[in-house]
Structure 1
Amino acid sequence: MSKIQEFNELHTSSDLLFLGNAWDLLSALLLEKAGFKAIGTTSWGIANTLGFPDGERIPFDKHLAIIQAITENVNVPVSADIEAGYSEAEDTIIQHVLQTANVGVAGINLEDSLKTKNGLREIKDHCRLLTKMRIALDQNGFKNFFINARTDTYLQSNFALSETIERAAAYVGSGASGIFVPGLVNEDEIKEVSSTVKVSLNVLSVPGLTNCEKLKEIGVTRFSFGNAFSDQVIASIEKNATQLVKGMDTELLYKH
């Protein structure tokens, strides 16, 4: 079974797909060892690893190199977060998607946020991009490659629920395999989105939205924690480094 097939099956299982979000090879290997059935990269974490803020501030090739290192060294399927595609030009975005597929990932996250200004891509423009993307993937040997269409309606829109449902339906009709809605936290609204959009619904962990079993009960089929884990690791490193300098004592390194 190919990784693409395996990844698709994880979305149709009776179990919620709980992704482990990795930001470098070591984190991916440890998440796999812990038992995560699939890895999702976090663009925020990868950017921080390279000393940059999130938001397509790093060269795409550097981002892709970390994704490739992860994919080549874990045995579970990998989904790559490539933000909005690292370009505003459709052909370049599609080329970046194909490059990402070529390193062996089973799927991608692609968001509809604009990077050079506030707001979201027009629905018709994003749908056209998704349709071209699906055709290009099919024609290049990546049939059923998982396109997780992220919509940032809850991060940028005043009419989040209605626009989410409208965009999600349009994106699925244009070739998206699943819908990712960061910021969607209200249980009733999650139920409405999941019952309306007949594909996998991915939500993002935030304080108060953390339990896989509860999420499964209200229709969520895919759950990820984004940069929360990498942020926690960075904070731990910073805290310990500060204590090492302040105390001039390495005893803390041997406490587990």
Structure 2
Amino acid sequence: MPHDPGPAFRALHRPGDPFVLANAWDLGSARMLAALGAQAIGTSSAAHAFTLGLPDMGRVTREDALAHAEALVAATPLPVSGDFENGFGDAPDIVAGTVRLSCEAGLAGLSIEDTMPPDGAAYPFDLAVERIRAAAAAARACPRDLVLVARADGVMTGVYDLEEGIRRLRAFAAAGADCLYLPMPPSMEDVARICAGVDKPVNAIAAGSFTAATRADFARAGVARISLGSALARATHRLIRDAAEAMLGPAGDFSALSRSVPGGDVDALLARGAREG
């Protein structure tokens, strides 16, 4: 049987001692993050879409998302978790199929949302739970360990409140999810409330107002995992935008390029972060 990254990935999920799931968008970013100390890599649906010239939410096919994830698996020795939006379909059996394909791609985990692209409408409660139950059954049938993350995205999209989000997380846990994720609650106090209100490890995101928090802040809230989503990719895109506006504008200012990383340093990081063999 091929190497199973799942047990090591699962062991990283310790409430109150969070690791950073470093979301990459191509082989180079994955290898640099691995070389710089990341313990696991995540895909990002938005960041991957940007590389294809597409907007976020439901524009990337399941085939392309899985191929991208599989390429990241081959790029570094680290466990990789897939950000697979709603599982690429509404029906529970489609979600289960995405889980099976994730296992075949060598992933250590994946996340499934309870909202529908592209408008972010929430699935009815019972269907949302049934989708996670089908995903969990497929994960348990995988010949390797697979960490299933169930996401309650309706607070972030504004379609339900925090109480409903926590109710959904509890139901997802009972349906077999291994890790729970409610992106962008109003405050760190609400993150702590989420962690205290469920009995599975919780993922939180370092984005928006939460970029002002430290790992210690997330730890005190009880978080087990801190993901970046597309934030690191968007920070890179901001540099591209700002530098291009300065270079191509009336001032013709190239000073932003003085902050670039020397090519030799990049080469060394890419080599250090690569999978051997």
Q: Tell me the TM-score normalized by structure 2.
A: 0.84
Whether the 8 Å CA contact 1:184–1:203 is kept in 2: the answer is: no
**Alpha-carbon shift at residue 184 of structure 1 (Å):** 1.5
Aligned to 2:235: 232
Matched, 1:193 2:194: yes
How far apart are residue 132 of structure 1 and its match? 1.7
State the distance in 2 between where 1:171 and 1:91 align.
Answer: 16
- Please name the residue that 1:222 is paired with: 225
Name the residue aligned to 2:137.
135
How far apart are residue 71 of structure 1 and its match? 0.6
For 2:223 and 2:15, the matched residues in 1 are separated by 12
Q: CA deviation at 1:70?
A: 0.5
Q: Is the 8 A contact 1:123 1:170 kept in 2?
A: no
The 5-angstrom pairing of residues 73-92 of structure 1 reads 73-92=75-94
Q: For the aligned residues, what is the CA RMSD?
A: 2.2
Measure how far apart 1:241 and its partner are.
3.4
With 218-227 and 42-51 compared, the bigger mean Cα shift is at: 218-227
Residues 36, 255 of structure 1: alpha-carbon distance in 2 compared, 3 angstrom cutoff: closer
Residues 117 and 52 from structure 1, CA distance in 2 versus in 1: closer, same or farther, beyond 3 angstroms?
Answer: closer
User: For 1:150-170, what per-residue CA distance to the aligned partner results, in whole angstroms no more than 9, with x for missing partners?
Assistant: 101312456522112211110
Q: Which moved more, 1:233-242 or 1:26-35?
A: 233-242
Matching residue of 1:95: 97
- Residue of structure 1 equivalent to 2:128: 126
Structure number with the bigger relative contact order (C-alpha 8 A, sep ≥ 6) is 2
Which residue does 2:109 correspond to in 1? 107
User: How much identity, in percent, do the aligned residues show?
Assistant: 26
Distance 2:204 2:117 in 1: 21
Q: Distance in 1 between matches of 2:236 and 2:167?
A: 37
Contact 2:80 2:109 in 1 (8 A): yes
Superposed, 1:193-212 pairs within 5 Å as 193-209=194-210, 210-212=213-215
Unaligned regions of 5+ residues in structure 1, if any? none
Specify the alignment match of 1:59 in structure 2. 61
Answer whether contact 1:40 1:78 (CA < 8 A) is retained. Answer: yes
AA matched with 2:179: G
- Gap regions ≥5 residues in structure 2: 261-277
Query: In the aligned structure 2, how far is the partner of 1:249 from the partner of 1:219?
Result: 46
| Secondary structure of residue in 1 paired with 2:77 | coil
Query: What code does the residue aligned with 1:183 have?
Result: M
Tell me if the contact between 2:16 and 2:219 (Cα under 8 Å) persists in the aligned partners.
no
Deviations 1:207-255 (A, max 9, x none): 4323111110121111112111101111212333344445778786455
What do the CA deviations read for 1:158-203 (whole angstroms, capped 9, x no partner)?
Answer: 6522112211110000010111111114233222211110111111
Counterpart CA distance in 1 for 2:257 and 2:183 is: 36
Conservation of the 8 A alpha-carbon contact between 1:25 and 1:66: no
- Distance, in Å, in 1 between the alignment partners of 2:171 and 2:8 is 26
Distance 1:149 1:30 in 2: 28
Task: Name the CA distance, whole Å, in 2 between partners of 1:21 and 1:116.
Answer: 21
